[in-house]
Amino acid sequence: MSNFILDASAIEAVYFSESKNSDITDYLTAIEIAKSSQWLYMGELSEILSRLLLVDKEAYKLNSNDTCDTSDHLKELSDTYNWLASLPGDVTDYSDKDSLAGALSNASIRLGDNSVVVTIDSDRLSRGEPFVDFQMALGKINKYQIDFFDLKTQQNRIRSRLETALHTVLHHGRYVMGPEVEELEKSLAQYVDVEYSIAVSNGTDALMIAMMAIGIEPGDEIITTPFTFMATIEMITALGAKPVYVDIDPRTFNIDTGMIEQAITTNSRAILPVNLYGQCADMDCISEIASRNGLYVIEDAAQSFGATYKNRFSCSLGDIACTSFYPTKPLGAYGDAGACFTHDPEIANVMRQIRDHGQDRRYHHVRAGVNGRMDSLQAAVLLAKLEVFDDELEKRNQVAGRYTELIEESKSGGVILPYVEDHNTSSWAQYTIQVAERESVQNRIAACEIPTMVHYPSTTYRQPVALQEGIEFLNSERASEAVLSLPMHPYLGSEQQKSIINSLLVAIKD
């Protein structure tokens, strides 16, 4: 993605000669189509405002006593452009008579490879790149790019809240389990409507902590599915326990509840359903089987934060729920993070202790623990993202709905659509279809520069580290051969979706 910083002279030109100068109109039109990011540098704030006020005076022939409204300008600018924070290190050459030019140049390096500073100031232009005029900038706009995930658009949307929160942590200095973590735990618990939320270091640790909390030990059996991300299985085996597999329902990819009972033995301790791609498993049915057999239920809700099952939120449905805030999950941090949830005060207390080396108070270790704490920076990011999360869920649902509509309209028989049960809403961690000859379909789509992914290409019992020979679950095997995830994020436009589906349909026909 390209980034364009408009300096004060450029922004004045945009306002002043918008309709007269064809270089500027061409640039603005291209930017609009490509949806490239335009930035203003905070270090030029006063220069920008004073230039715009001068433009106003000329345009409206105001006399010098009239006051122009700075706040209107500021609002208008903030709606159209992203503000790029100026940092103390931006000015490096104090002898430069235009030291702001040096600062702009350094700020553009911070934005990344494809960043330029658009200007009409001839002195700045004579410095060469990153300074470019409107015509040169036009040549740098990438027409079109489709990303599998898009974290940039969201970041721009919440940038001021985000940067303020990060700076607050920088300054208060409580970097691990600081005040943001406690605030996040409250917000998360409230969001999914459970009593206790325990913020942890990542989704994998969340599973480990949950299983340690119910005392899983060598020889125990955990009932789960083999069609999941390896983390689910990894933590079972790390504790010396054994994953006992139940096949998936081929429509939802979640555990087939009709097959659970026959997998229960005297060693069974828990059922660990995985809410794959953002849709909950049939949790009422699972809880009923579990309570009849004296088993715990642990929800692997790493992909389903925000999803609902019979109007209740994922993460509130088992004895314990574990979720992940890996950056590309529906709610993602800027690094690793996760959380455990429970309604049970005793289990909550134990999980809190395990998270922090099994301590009940400082340097007093009452049980085996781990270092599973969350960073304050990640909590700060998550709090900022939580504010737009409902809107993003709605957008994910619209994106999923549009995909389904486009594929249905095509009447192509070659695609099996995702299926969401009537009593569920998905958080659409993935939009995953099934196709025959997946590899060649995927390659043909990739040739159109459209990224797709396979979640997951192998059942877990075939993975070398957790090999279980002599078993085979047909629905899981078939799914691992046919599933294909299309780009999915809240900011995917309908035009982009059309071109994705067109490439898919062509790829299937060839």
Ligand X SMILES: *Cc1c(COP(=O)(O)O)cnc(C)c1O
List contacts with ligand X (CB under 6 A): 202-204, 228-229, 231-232, 274, 300, 302-303, 324, 326, 336, 338
Q: Per the omega criterion (within 30 degrees of 0), is the bond before 144 cis?
A: no
Our CB check for ligand X shows the closer of 41 and 326 to be 326
State which H helix or E strand residue 117 sits in.
strand 115-118
Closest approach, Cβ 124 to ligand X, in A, equals 45
Residue carrying the six token digits 């500027």: 24
Our CB check for ligand X shows the closer of 131 and 341 to be 341
Our CB check for ligand X shows the closer of 192 and 231 to be 231
Query: Which amino acid is it at 189?
Result: A
From the list 318, 328, 310, 203, the residue with the least C-alpha distance to 270 is: 318
* Six token digits for residue 244: 């006992």
- Determine the residue with CB nearest ligand X: 203
From the list 40, 33, 41, the residue with the least C-alpha distance to 141 is: 33
Our CB check for ligand X shows the closer of 37 and 427 to be 427
Residues 360/353, Cβ–Cβ less than 8 Å = yes
Closest approach, Cβ 229 to ligand X, in A, equals 4
Closest approach, Cβ 26 to ligand X, in A, equals 44
Closest approach, Cβ 179 to ligand X, in A, equals 23
Residues 184/338, Cβ–Cβ less than 8 Å = no
Closest approach, Cβ 486 to ligand X, in A, equals 17
* CB-facing half-sphere around the CA of 159: CA atoms within 13 A: 14
Beta-bridge partner residues of 138:
none
State the Cα–Cα distance between residues 91 and 42, nearest whole angstrom.
Answer: 13
Q: Write the DSSP assignment of 193-204 as a string of letters.
A: T-SEEEEES-HH
Our CB check for ligand X shows the closer of 274 and 286 to be 274
Closest approach, Cβ 235 to ligand X, in A, equals 8
Our CB check for ligand X shows the closer of 180 and 336 to be 336
Our CB check for ligand X shows the closer of 119 and 225 to be 225
Q: Write the DSSP assignment of 260-283 as a string of letters.
A: TGGG--TTEEEE--B-GGG----H
From the list 433, 426, 403, the residue with the least C-alpha distance to 500 is: 403
Closest approach, Cβ 205 to ligand X, in A, equals 7
